[in-house]
Amino acid sequence: MAYLTVNVEYGLHCLLWLVDAGDRPRSGRDLAEFQGISSSLIIKIFGKLTKAGIVRASEGLSGGYVLAHAPEQISLLQVLDAIEGRKPLFPCQEIRGRCAIFEGQPPSWATGGVCSIHAAMLKAEKAMRDTLADCSLADIGRSVTRKAPTDFAGEVSDWFDSRLSVRGRRSEDKHDKQGTIV
């Protein structure tokens, strides 16, 4: 078990395939198939990313998702918060005020300001969030590009284009058949 769910990994990997796609939408189903993961889960995750304004969704045969901002402006932290929700690291219940010798009436020195334990946890949480805020989709994309052979980006584009083209042909066939029936 980890603190984050696999949805963050799924969402981030699929977002990476939008980095070089520019304004050409890629569908949730294609992203899921390309990445080898569940289509229904990706649609759920991308619903959250759309709601958070990280991607823009469009309907139709050639519809799908595009990044709503330049990949340099989308941080891992934004993606994490969009998918997992903005959860605190530490669930402070202010139990410092429950100390028996206060007899239900904790003095102000005991409950004023932030609890020292909570403050330490907030500092650790900030260190984690600052690191994720400093890393963008563009950073990750560049790192993948550095590793990949030069023709990889082209192969990726071709794969998504071929899916779109197959959908286009199927749609034409459907219209032809409807025409025949009618």
Tokens of 99: 């100390």
**Contact, 32 vs 46, CB < 8 A?**
no
Closer to a copy of itself by CB, 70 or 99: give it: 99
**Residues 20-59 vs a copy of itself: string with x where CB under 8 A?**
-------------xxxxx----------------------
**109 binds a copy of itself, rule: CB under 8 A:** yes
Residue among 94, 26, 13 at smallest CA distance from 65:
26
Do 4 and 80 form a contact (C-beta atoms < 8 A)? yes
| Smallest separation (angstroms) from a copy of itself to the CB of 84 | 9
Q: Which is nearer to a copy of itself, 5 or 174 (CB)?
A: 5
> Whats the size of the chain, residue-wise?
182
Residue with tokens 């690191």: 131
> In angstroms, how far is CA 180 from the centroid of its own chain?
44
| Residues found near a copy of itself in the complex (CB under 8 A) | 1-6, 8-10, 12-13, 16, 33-37, 76, 85, 87-93, 95-96, 98-101, 109-110, 112-113, 116-121, 123-125, 127-132, 135, 139-140, 143-144, 147-149, 155-156, 159
